Amino acid sequence: MTGDLSQIASSLYEGDEESVSDLVQKLLNGGAAADQILQEGLIAGMDRVGKDFKDGVLFVPEVLVAARAMHAGMDILRPLLTQSSARNVGKCVIGTVKGDLHDIGKNLVKMMLEGAGFEIIDLGTDVDPQAFVEAVREHKPKLVGMSALLTTTMQNMKATIDEIGEAGLRDSTKIILGGAPVTEDYAMKCGADGYASNAAAAVDLARALTA
């Protein structure tokens, strides 16, 4: 199985969508856990992509194909990650903040929250602060989740929280932040209720804040 997991990581790195899908399905059929495939196959592969992107070995087109392969693998795992015995724990509005197009991490957090019983309203990527405000007004969620992957867009988390506050809606919902450049300290400075470093931690935090 370890060989197949590292092959998933390599196929993802190569952007070989078909091979990623086949290997994920093969491992699931063989009884492997979805979470292990996610962490040791898909995320491990994307970590390598991130490193080589940073070092100038890979460029945006290669990263885009790798992202497509990641989504293909996630699509197969989705039914397992969103399977839930807990129903209707409340609504959650989630999105990637303005200026930011990264959605893989946000989608993982969304799947895991869905699995924990949250009804998800996904605003997508590049979400304007006012769109968050409107969604909070309309859906009255227990939880708002924001993701940012760029140091240049993480400041839009504070701008969004401020606009939710100016609209008089801040006390009606809990707000959590996450994404590679975000830290606990930064989240607190933005006025959020919490920070999670990964999707599993986001579920624990969401449960604790909305219990």
Binding site for ligand B1M (CB under 6 A): 43, 46, 49-50, 53-54, 60, 63-64, 67, 99-106, 108-109, 145-147, 149-151, 176-181, 196, 198-199, 202
Q: Please state the closest distance from residue 60 (CB atom) to ligand B1M, in A.
A: 5
Is residue 5 within 8 Å of 36, Cβ to Cβ? yes
Give the closest residue to 176 by CA, choosing from 151, 208, 129, 133: 208
DSSP H/E element including 133: helix 129-139
CB nearer ligand B1M, residue 115 or residue 179: 179
The residue behind tokens 């890979």 is: 58
CB nearer ligand B1M, residue 30 or residue 61: 61
CB nearer ligand B1M, residue 9 or residue 149: 149
Q: Please state the closest distance from residue 113 (CB atom) to ligand B1M, in A.
A: 8
CB nearer ligand B1M, residue 80 or residue 180: 180
Is residue 105 within 8 Å of 174, Cβ to Cβ? no
Count CB atoms within 10 A of the CB of residue 132: 28
Q: Please state the closest distance from residue 195 (CB atom) to ligand B1M, in A.
A: 7
Q: Please state the closest distance from residue 183 (CB atom) to ligand B1M, in A.
A: 11
Q: Please state the closest distance from residue 193 (CB atom) to ligand B1M, in A.
A: 11
Q: What SS3 string covers 42-56?
A: HHHHHHHHHHHHHCC
Could you give the CA distance from residue 4 to residue 41 in angstroms, rounded to a whole number? Answer: 8
